[in-house]
Amino acid sequence: MALTIGTWNVQWQFGEWEARQPAILQVLRNLDADVVMLQESWRGQVERFASELGYHSTWAGHNPHADPERSMGNAILSRWPIQTRAHRFLADSQGREYRTILSARVNTPFGILPAFTTHLDYHFDGSATRLAQLATASEFIEEHASGELPPILTGDLNAVHDSDEIRKLTGRSAPYVTGRIWTDAWEQVGDGPGITWSKANPYINNSAWPNRRLDYVMIGWPREKRPLGNPQRAWMFGVEPIDGVVGSDHYGVAVEIHT
């Protein structure tokens, strides 16, 4: 059997955001993932989606002082109950609270799934900031990574697959935490380049730097009970418009993992 995991940056309240909400909801309904993780979400949006789709959910905003209905944040929605949840703030280049990593221990029929999602600094020259954010995130993950299933890390990492940030995750460079590296599911079982920030998307056709793979589903290693957790297939979603509307400026990534 397999679990379907999805991740999607849903473009917060930018542009004509109200017109995009029905499209986002329909895409998520069609995806029918077991666990789907969202970036650039807000609390009311997540609560509505969870209610409409029959999911359990948790959300954490990036700004602890902001109105949750206006604060951008990360969310985890699950077909099954969430046993525990936690989050940690990730600093910007000035050391200020800027982004978060969110965790949920999902009580699946196959055991506890430790799920994590994050959204890193977006600046083109922000590699050093993203490295520091992932170092903090990796320490947090180790505090919450126990479970019968391997940990899953998803999100808009704002870094391409051969960047310093991703190389340290995937073991091509010294890892953030000794003994923990990650399988990039798209690299293993995806078809094609997997571009999630694409000039084909109508919201970014004038982007300064389009056509990059910025969004990831990663599976923790070591995995002692192989093939448990091994990726079986990966695909993008949110690519085609719904009633003429594309849901977000990012395309989503979905992965089936072996249970």
Across the 259 residues of the chain, what is the mean pLDDT of every consecutive 10-residue run? 97 96 99 99 98 99 84 97 98 86 98 98 96 98 97 99 98 97 98 97 89 98 84 98 98 97
Residue 73 belongs to a domain with what CATH number?
Answer: 3.60.10.10
Amino acid making up residue 79: R
pLDDT of residue 98: 83
Indicate the burial class of 231 (C-beta count within 10 angstroms; 0-12, 13-18, 19 or more): buried
Maximum alpha-carbon separation in the chain: 48
- Residue reference for tokens 């995009």: 20
Angstrom distances, CA of residue 169 to CA of 56, 131, 135, 187 = 29, 10, 10, 13
Boundaries of domain holding 83: 2-258
CA distance 47 to 220: 28
Domain count, the chain: 1
Closest CA to 148 of 213, 233, 204, 224: 224
pLDDT of residue 209: 82
What pTM was computed for the model? 0.97
pLDDT of residue 9: 99
Cis peptide before 202 (omega within 30 of 0): no
CA distance 236 to 255: 9
Q: Distance between the two ends of the chain, CA-based, in angstroms?
A: 6
3-class secondary structure, 167: helix
pLDDT of residue 94: 86
Q: Which two tokens stand for residue 44?
A: 């009311």
